[in-house]
C-alpha cells in the first residue's frame, strides 16, 4: 500500500522525471496489481495498524449499479455498511477500522479492519452476527477479501 497524502501528490509524481524509471522498475507488477485511491476515514488509519497484528482488507464493488444511480445506491448501501462496521466495536478481538469510497470508481468501497489475532478474526467470521450482517452487505454486491498484514510488518503511515 502506498500512502499518498492526496491524489494531487500522486498525479504530480506521475508527471515527474522519476516516474518513467519507477514504472519500468515495477512494470512486472502492473498486469496483476491495481492501486485505487481511497480517502480512508479516519485517516491516517494508524489505529488499525498500531495494535493489530492482523489486518483485513475487504473491497465491496457495487458493479450492478448504473453510473447515473451510483450516488443514490451508494448512500443506501453506505447506511447498511455503517451499521455493520459500527457493530464491530463490540466484537471480541476486533480493533479499529478505516473505510472509504474509491476515487476512480465511486461504486467501490474499501474497509481495513484490525484484529488482535487470526483466531479472533476466525471466530467472528463463523459467528451468526457476521453471517447475517455480512450477508446483507454482499447481497448483489461483488466483494473481495485479503489479509493485508499478519504480525511483523507495519506499513509506514
What is the residue extent of each domain of the chain?
Answer: 1-35, 36-149
Mean pLDDT on 28-48: 70
8 A C-beta contact, residue 3 and residue 44: yes
Rounded to an integer, what distance in angstroms lies between the CA atom of residue 151 and that of residue 148? 10
Q: What is the pLDDT of residue 153?
A: 47
Give CA angle at 112 (138, 8), nearest 5°. 110
Q: Is the pLDDT of residue 155 over 50?
A: no
- How far apart are alpha carbons 132 and 118 in whole angstroms? 21
Looking at residue 133, its pLDDT comes to 81
Q: What is the pLDDT of residue 103?
A: 83
Residue 7: its H or E element: helix 7-14
For residue 40, what are the CA distances in angstroms to 1, 9, 86, 111? 13, 16, 15, 8
State the cell numbers at 69: 444511480
Q: Whole-number mean pLDDT of the chain?
A: 74
In the predicted structure, residue 53 carries a pLDDT above the cut 50: yes
Q: Which fold has domain 36-149?
A: Alpha-Beta Plaits (3.30.70)
Burial class (CB in 10 A: 0-12, 13-18, 19+), 106: middle
Q: What is the pLDDT of residue 26?
A: 58
Cis peptide before 42 (omega within 30 of 0): yes
pLDDT the model gives residue 37 = 77
Mean pLDDT of 47-68: 76
pLDDT at 35 over 50: yes
Least confident of 21-35, 101-115, 135-149: 21-35
The band of 1, judged by pLDDT with boundaries at 50, 70 and 90, is: very low
Helix (H) or strand (E) holding 9, with range, is: helix 7-14
Alpha helices, H only, 27-138: 46-50, 70-88, 118-125, 128-138
What's the confidence (pLDDT) of residue 154?
45
Compute how many other C-beta atoms are within 10 angstroms of the C-beta atom of residue 110. 18
Q: Contact 1/148 with Cβ under 8 angstroms? A: yes
Amino acid at each position: 500500500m502506498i500512502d499518498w497524502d492526496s491524489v494531487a501528490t500522486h498525479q504530480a509524481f506521475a508527471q515527474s522525471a522519476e516516474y518513467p524509471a519507477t514504472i519500468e522498475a515495477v512494470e512486472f507488477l502492473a498486469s496483476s496489481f491495481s492501486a485505487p485511491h481511497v480517502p480512508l476515514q479516519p485517516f491516517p488509519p494508524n489505529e488499525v495498524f498500531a495494535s493489530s497484528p492482523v489486518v483485513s482488507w475487504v473491497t465491496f464493488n457495487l458493479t450492478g449499479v448504473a453510473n447515473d444511480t451510483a450516488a443514490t445506491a451508494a448512500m443506501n448501501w453506505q447506511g447498511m455498511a455503517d451499521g455493520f462496521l459500527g457493530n464491530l466495536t463490540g466484537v471480541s478481538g476486533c480493533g479499529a477500522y478505516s473505510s472509504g469510497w474509491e476515487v476512480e470508481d465511486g461504486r467501490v468501497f474499501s474497509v481495513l479492519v484490525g484484529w488482535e489475532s487470526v483466531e479472533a478474526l476466525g471466530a467472528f467470521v463463523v459467528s451468526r452476527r457476521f453471517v447475517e450482517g455480512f450477508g446483507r452487505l454482499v447481497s448483489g454486491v461483488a466483494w473481495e477479501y485479503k489479509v493485508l498484514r499478519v504480525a511483523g510488518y507495519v506499513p509506514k503511515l
